């Protein structure tokens, strides 16, 4: 394991169910993420992104393979040890913010500190500092119901950072936000990676994040691979497979289309478009 | 750390109200029943416990409780008892339940004929009127007086056709306290009056025995039974206990069932509210689990919620119990309740048990909580 590698997945597989109903959610995934890196994992719904994130967070054991965080093998830890690990070394940012409704913004952050054994005025000061750093100094005593989506997500980020973790896992952090707030949150996560030196893994469908990520991986049918740039073979437009209007397997390769019309043209004479694609390359 | 349990509870006032109300109702029911039981058992033998004698002697084979007593002994037995070594003096006791018509209904009282000169077996405290009944006079209990609308100066037609002469009804000359057993009330006349009224001349229902100083009552009772065949001698505590047995046999099972119902209602109400609150917050518990809370920490949150609801419900229930018991004693004179520290402690234990049981099901759900839940939109 390289010295700056924070998270490492080695041959990680997760299978749900048995027999005919068996589903392989993640298959032999290998991954290394370094300190200060912002990694984006994309993929269609049901591709295993959340399962991968859950395993990386020590919330779900893999069926086989190993997950190492800062040199510790998560698969060898007990439930209690995993809880302590999550308290101190992993921060979570959720799609639905998942703040505790009965607590104020300040208390939501304090809870994370309290779970790690930091109580009293010191914890309160630390929670306040984190929220103020994220521009929420004026919203400390507001309950989640009184905060906007962007503010809630910033409280969620503050909670994730409360115990100065090495790894921050964010699940669809922009899904419930408008484009401006979504971008602000992603920029904040980038800042967390670059200025605070945290390893940040974001799972998302949001293609707007791609430009801010250091690396983008594609997860489909449980398999993790480097993100390819897909182009519609008919019109040449860059296509995000998750947002493609249509796809077609042809001669062992999957092609993605921006519209049903492009697919129909392709189906009439694939050779014409593949030849022009080859010549373009 | 900020108390999540407390914040969750007080954030949902309606649910808290139901939960606290359920426990309060259970505690109220349990305390009132326990108080009623204590009150009845104390009141039931208050009279017996305060008759200053060493032994009660009854007819052998008769039930020892006064309510159902058919103990009847010839007056000649008194001499046999007085002859027993260690016996200082013996007083005949006449007493039995009588029914008489009053304001259109048949009412009953336990009529005691006692030795007015020694006051042995007389009323415990006279609250109104004369302290001693003369010929043709009666002292009634305060509860009996209030329940039946009997006042000083009223004339009670007790005895009816039993009366040996054609003397007029008994006139109420005093109202006494301490003669309410809950099931019936004592009324007092002179022994001569009772003998005449109940045609008991030459007989006694019980004999009240004083022993010489330093005599052991149990040993003296054994000597009496040996010397006077056909009698059974009781120490005061044994006689009191055998009278209480009647109450215990009748009421204890009923009270036990009602306490159990109260316990069940309280447990179900608090259990359901805590369970639904936990299930509704299962996502939040998942979040806590994800950010490092151990299962034990989650249990503590649920248990703390149950205990807080419990304690608030208990406090409210205790206050309500005192209010209800106080009001009942005021408006329903026959109602006797005695709330003791021991019962308050028992109710507290029951309330805590309710909280513990109520949190069992939510906690068992938390064990199975899938942490991946927090990643679902």
Task: Say if residues B284 and A103 touch (Cβ distance below 8 Å).
Answer: no
pLDDT-derived band at A155 (thresholds 50, 70, 90) equals very high
Same domain, B220 and B258: no
Query: What is each CA distance from B108 to B6, B11, B40, B128, B367, in whole angstroms?
Result: 56, 57, 18, 21, 63
Q: Cα B2–A151–A202 angle (5° rounding)?
A: 95
Total count of domains within chain B = 2
Segment B87-116 shows an average pLDDT of 91
Same domain, B207 and B173: yes
What is the Cα–Cα distance from B276 to B110, expressed in whole angstroms?
55
Whether the pLDDT of residue B66 is over 80: the answer is no
Same domain, B222 and B259: no
Please identify, among B199, B229, B259, the residue that sits at the C-terminal boundary of a domain.
Answer: B229
Q: Tokens 């109202």 map to which residue?
A: B175
Q: Tokens 């006032």 map to which residue?
A: B13
Calculate the CA A4 to chain-centre distance. 20
In chain A, helix, strand, coil percent, each to 5?
A: 40, 25, 35
At residue A281, the pLDDT reads 46
Q: Which residues of A touch B4 (CB under 8 A)?
A: 100, 102-103, 111
What is the Cα–Cα distance from B132 to B120, expressed in whole angstroms?
12
Task: Say if residues A35 and A6 touch (Cβ distance below 8 Å).
Answer: yes
What is the Cα–Cα distance from A36 to A251, expressed in whole angstroms?
41
Whether the pLDDT of residue B141 is over 70: the answer is yes
What is the Cα–Cα distance from B150 to B336, expressed in whole angstroms?
20
Inter-chain touch B2–A103, beta carbons under 8 Å: yes
What is the Cα–Cα distance from B97 to B186, expressed in whole angstroms?
9
Nearest of A251, A254, A248, A260 to residue A223 by alpha carbon: A254
Same domain, B310 and B186: no
What is the Cα–Cα distance from A6 to A196, expressed in whole angstroms?
14
Task: Say if residues B188 and B168 touch (Cβ distance below 8 Å).
Answer: no
Same domain, B73 and B37: no
B3-44 residue pLDDT tens: 888 888 888 888 889 888 888 988 898 888 888 888 888 888
DSSP A196-260: T--EEEEE-S-GGGGGG-SEEEEEETTEEEEPP-EE-TTT--EE-GGG-SEEEEETTEEEEESSH
At residue B160, the pLDDT reads 64
At residue B172, the pLDDT reads 95
- What CATH class does A230-280 carry? mainly beta
Helix (H) or strand (E) holding A171: strand A167-171
Q: Which residues of B touch A123 (CB under 8 A)?
A: 1
Same domain, B116 and B90: yes
Q: Is residue B51 part of a domain?
A: no
Please identify, among B202, B229, B256, the residue that sits at the C-terminal boundary of a domain.
Answer: B229
Same domain, B84 and B213: yes
Nearest of B113, B249, B226, B109 to residue B179 by alpha carbon: B109
Most B CBs within 10 Å: which of A83, A95, A146, as the mutation test of the B interface?
A83
Segment B206-228 shows an average pLDDT of 93
Inter-chain touch B11–A107, beta carbons under 8 Å: no
Inter-chain touch A98–B374, beta carbons under 8 Å: yes
Same domain, B223 and B311: no
Gap from A238 CA to chain B (nearest CA, Å): 28
Same domain, B82 and B198: yes
pTM of the predicted model as reported, rounded to 2 decimal places: 0.71
A81-100 residue pLDDT tens: 999 999 999 999 988 889 99
Q: Is residue B237 part of a domain?
A: no
Segment A202-226 shows an average pLDDT of 86
B263-272 residue pLDDT tens: 888 788 878 8
Which residue would you say has higher pLDDT here, B86 or B262? B86
Interface of A with B (CB under 8 A): 50-51, 53-54, 57, 59-60, 79-80, 83-88, 91-92, 94-96, 98, 100-103, 107, 110-116, 119, 123, 159, 171-172, 175-176
Nearest of A105, A110, A102, A144 to residue B4 by alpha carbon: A102
For residue B177, what are the β-bridge partners? B125
With a pLDDT cut of 70, the percent of chain B lying above it is 96
Same domain, B200 and B107: yes
**Among the partner residues B2, B293, B375, nearest to A110 by beta-carbon distance:** B2
Whether the pLDDT of residue A17 is over 60: the answer is yes
- Per-domain residue ranges for chain A? 5-103+165-226, 230-280
Whether the pLDDT of residue B242 is over 90: the answer is no
Helix residue ranges per DSSP H, B149-200: 191-198
Inter-chain touch B292–A92, beta carbons under 8 Å: no
Nearest of A188, A172, A200, A191 to residue A96 by alpha carbon: A172
Inter-chain touch B374–A114, beta carbons under 8 Å: no
What is the Cα–Cα distance from A149 to B377, expressed in whole angstroms?
14
Task: Say if residues B338 and B39 touch (Cβ distance below 8 Å).
Answer: yes
**Among the partner residues B2, B283, B372, nearest to A111 by beta-carbon distance:** B2
Inter-chain touch A159–B291, beta carbons under 8 Å: yes
The first and second tokens of residue A28, run together, are: 């032999």
Inter-chain touch B292–A116, beta carbons under 8 Å: yes
Whether the pLDDT of residue B377 is over 80: the answer is no
Segment A250-270 shows an average pLDDT of 89
CATH architecture of A5-103+165-226: 3-Layer(aba) Sandwich (3.40)
**Would you call B101 helix, strand, or coil by DSSP?**
strand
Residue range of the domain that includes B202:
61-229
Segment A26-32 shows an average pLDDT of 93
Same domain, B321 and B221: no
Same domain, B102 and B217: yes
A129-147 residue pLDDT tens: 999 999 999 999 999 999 9
């Amino acid at each position: 394991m390289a010295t700056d590698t924070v998270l490492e997945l080695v041959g990680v597989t997760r299978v749900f169910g048995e027999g005919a109903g068996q589903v392989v959610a993640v298959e032999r995934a290998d991954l290394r993420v370094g300190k200060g890196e912002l990694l984006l994992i994309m993929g269609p719904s049901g591709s295993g992104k959340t399962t991968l994130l859950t395993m990386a967070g020590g919330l779900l054991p893999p069926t086989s393979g190993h997950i190492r965080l800062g040199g510790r093998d998560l698969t060898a830890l007990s439930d209690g040890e995993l809880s302590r690990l999550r308290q101190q070394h992993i921060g979570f940012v959720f799609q639905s913010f998942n703040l505790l409704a009965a607590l104020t913004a300040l208390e939501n952050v304090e809870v994370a500190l309290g779970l790690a054994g930091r109580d009293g005025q010191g914890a309160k000061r630390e929670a306040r500092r984190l929220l103020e750093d994220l521009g929420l100094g004026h919203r400390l005593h507001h309950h989640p119901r009184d905060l906007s989506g962007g503010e809630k997500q910033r409280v969620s980020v503050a909670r994730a950072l409360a115990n100065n973790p090495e790894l921050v896992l964010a699940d669809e952090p922009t899904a419930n936000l408008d484009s401006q707030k979504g971008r602000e949150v992603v920029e904040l996560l980038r800042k967390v990676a670059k200025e605070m030196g945290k390893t940040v893994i974001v799972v998302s469908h949001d293609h707007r994040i791609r430009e801010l990520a250091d690396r983008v991986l594609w997860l489909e049918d449980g398999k993790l691979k480097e993100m390819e740039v897909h182009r519609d073979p008919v019109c040449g437009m860059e296509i995000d497979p998750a947002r493609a209007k249509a796809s077609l397997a042809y001669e062992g390769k999957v092609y993605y289309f921006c519209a049903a019309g492009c697919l129909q043209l392709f189906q009439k004479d694939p050779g014409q478009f593949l030849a022009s694609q080859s010549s373009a390359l | 750390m900020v108390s999540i349990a407390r914040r969750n509870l007080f954030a949902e006032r309606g649910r808290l109200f139901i939960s606290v109300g359920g426990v309060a109702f259970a505690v109220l029911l349990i305390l009132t029943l326990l108080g009623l039981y204590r009150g009845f058992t104390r009141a039931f033998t208050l009279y017996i416990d305060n008759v200053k004698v060493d032994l009660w002697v009854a007819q052998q084979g008769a039930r020892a409780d006064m309510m159902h007593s058919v103990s009847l002994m010839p007056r000649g037995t008194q001499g046999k008892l007085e002859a027993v070594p260690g016996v200082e003096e013996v007083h005949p006791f006449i007493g039995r339940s009588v029914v008489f018509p009053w304001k259109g209904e048949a009412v009953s009282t336990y009529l005691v004929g006692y030795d007015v000169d020694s006051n042995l077996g007389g009323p415990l405290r006279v609250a109104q009127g004369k302290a001693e009944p003369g010929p043709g006079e009666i002292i009634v209990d305060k509860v009996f007086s209030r329940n039946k609308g009997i006042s000083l100066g009223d004339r009670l037609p007790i005895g009816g056709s039993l009366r040996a002469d054609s003397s007029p009804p008994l006139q109420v000359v005093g109202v006494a306290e301490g003669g309410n057993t809950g099931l019936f009330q004592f009324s007092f006349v002179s022994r001569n009056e009772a003998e005449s009224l109940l045609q008991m001349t030459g007989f006694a229902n019980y004999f009240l025995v004083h022993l010489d100083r330093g005599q052991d009552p149990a040993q003296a009772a054994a000597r009496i039974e040996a010397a006077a065949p056909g009698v059974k001698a009781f120490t005061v505590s044994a006689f009191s206990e055998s009278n209480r047995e009647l109450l215990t046999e009748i009421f204890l099972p009923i009270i036990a069932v009602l306490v159990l119902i109260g316990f069940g209602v309280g447990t179900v109400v608090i259990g359901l509210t805590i369970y639904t609150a936990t299930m509704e917050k299962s996502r939040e518990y998942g979040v806590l689990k994800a950010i490092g809370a151990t299962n034990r920490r989650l249990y503590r949150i649920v248990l703390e919620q149950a205990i807080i609801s419990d304690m608030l419900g208990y406090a409210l229930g205790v206050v309500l119990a005192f209010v209800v018991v106080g009001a009942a004693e005021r408006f329903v004179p026959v109602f006797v309740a005695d709330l003791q520290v021991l019962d308050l402690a028992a109710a507290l234990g029951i309330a805590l048990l309710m909280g513990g049981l109520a949190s069992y099901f939510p906690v068992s759900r938390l064990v199975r909580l899938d942490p991946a839940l927090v990643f679902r939109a």
